[in-house]
Amino acid sequence: MNKLNLLSPLLFLSLFINSEDLFILGLGSCIDQDADQEKIWSSIKKERIDEFFFLGDNVYGDSKDGNLIKMRSAYKAQTKNLPTWLDEISINAIWDDHDYGVNDGGSDYPKKDEAQELFLDFWNISETDPRSTREGIYFSKEVDLKGIKIKVIGLDTRYFRSPLEGDKRNRTATKDKRKTILGKVQWKWLENELSKEADMIILASSIQVIANNHGFEKWGNFPHERTRLVELLNQTKKSVIIVSGDRHKAGIYNMDNLIEITSSSLNKPLPKWLATLWDSTKKETDEFLLGEMFYQANYGIIKLSKDKKITIQLKDEDANILSETFMYL
């Protein structure tokens, strides 16, 4: 793969190909190295994206005992699977539990530094990049499009995260305000990044921020952290889009004009029998969900057009629009 955070020459070519679009970002999560992915990449390629954001679970290399033997083989397989055209655009990536090393893993995972080395190596992250010399894989970058500044931020919701409460399918909200998702250093870094000049912020979190009506991992398991993040984003008074993955479900959320698009999974959707069962019995919803959730393979698209219109879309593997919303700078 090409080095992260480098703007491709194709970005400038795309400004002419996409006459009305200044910038197109593709995004997705949960991509299994052992499952077919050719069809969805074919659809994404036709979007003529300028960048792609891998939102975690970019391989499935975790194990119950946390050893990284499977992770190494998973990365090796994924190298052969990803289409070569991705090398021609800018790539961004954060991790989630399945490419961290252990399911639902957090700060107490003993091999997290070794896992970070594997992550950095797979994504060809330069030795001069801050991620190569600090704990955690969080990062930020700026994209300047004819005077419009986009701030892209990727959070690390694993390396510093305190232990969860409750069991796997029924995580409960902690009352312990000493517990954290980002850790002190990353929080300070994030506050500084959000204070910088920008017209638009794209903030990536591997787990959902807004959605709160389910028992799996989410920012809502740490209510004080979720409140802190939402307040911080609102204080910026900038156009903010949160992008997330993890769920093997997809949806778009709006909480007081704070938009979140959850795109999952690229090629590991819920089994049809399970999705059908949930449709008929307990289809997930949320007070902030726009429309419904989708269980099939999917990817996300964020477009910024010349008239400063932002289009946010979820699409299935055939590029059919599942859900969309709009906002303006």
How far is Cα 40 from Cα 298, in angstroms, rounded to an integer? 8
Lowest mean pLDDT across 3-7, 127-131, 236-240: 3-7
Tokens 């999705």 locate to 275
What percentage of the chain exceeds 90 in pLDDT?
88
pLDDT at res. 54: 99
With contact defined as beta carbons under 8 Å apart, do 104 and 167 qualify? no
Order of strands across the sheet that contains 148-154: 139-145, 148-154, 200-205, 239-244, 258-262, 251-255
- Give the span between the Cα atoms of 99 and 70, in whole angstroms: 10
**Region 282-303 average pLDDT:** 94
Q: How far apart are CA 285 and CA 287, in angstroms?
A: 7
For residue 328, give both structure tokens: 């303006």
Residue 16 has pLDDT above 70, yes or no: no
- Domains along the chain? 9-328 (3.60.21.70)
Amino acid identity for residue 83 in this structure: P
Whether the predicted pLDDT of 276 surpasses 60: yes
pLDDT of residue 279: 65
Tell whether the model's pLDDT for residue 193 goes beyond 50.
Answer: yes
The tokens for 162 are 């305190």
Per-residue pLDDT band for 6 (boundaries 50, 70, 90) equals: very low
Is residue 8's pLDDT more than 50? no
Q: How far apart are CA 204 and CA 1, in angstroms?
A: 20
Does the pLDDT at position 4 exceed 70? Answer: no
Reported as a pLDDT band with limits 50, 70 and 90, residue 13 is very low
> What type of residue sits at position 41?
W
More confident residue, 276 or 78: 78
Tell me whether residue 324 is exposed, middle or buried, using C-beta atoms within 10 angstroms of its C-beta: 0 to 12, 13 to 18, 19 or more: middle
Residue 20: pLDDT band with limits 50, 70, 90 = confident
Q: Within a 10 A sphere around the Cβ of 305, how many other Cβ atoms?
A: 16
- pLDDT over 50 (residue 212): yes
pTM, two decimals, is 0.93
Query: Residues 79-98: what's their mean pLDDT?
Result: 98
Statement: residue 217 has pLDDT above 80: yes
Tell me which of 65 and 277 has the higher pLDDT.
65
The predicted-structure confidence for 142-175, as pLDDT tens digits, reads as follows 999 989 999 999 999 999 999 999 998 899 999 9
Q: What six digits make up the tokens of 215? A: 């028992």
Q: Which has the higher per-residue pLDDT, 2 or 292?
A: 292
Tell me what the mean pLDDT of segment 290-304 comes to: 96
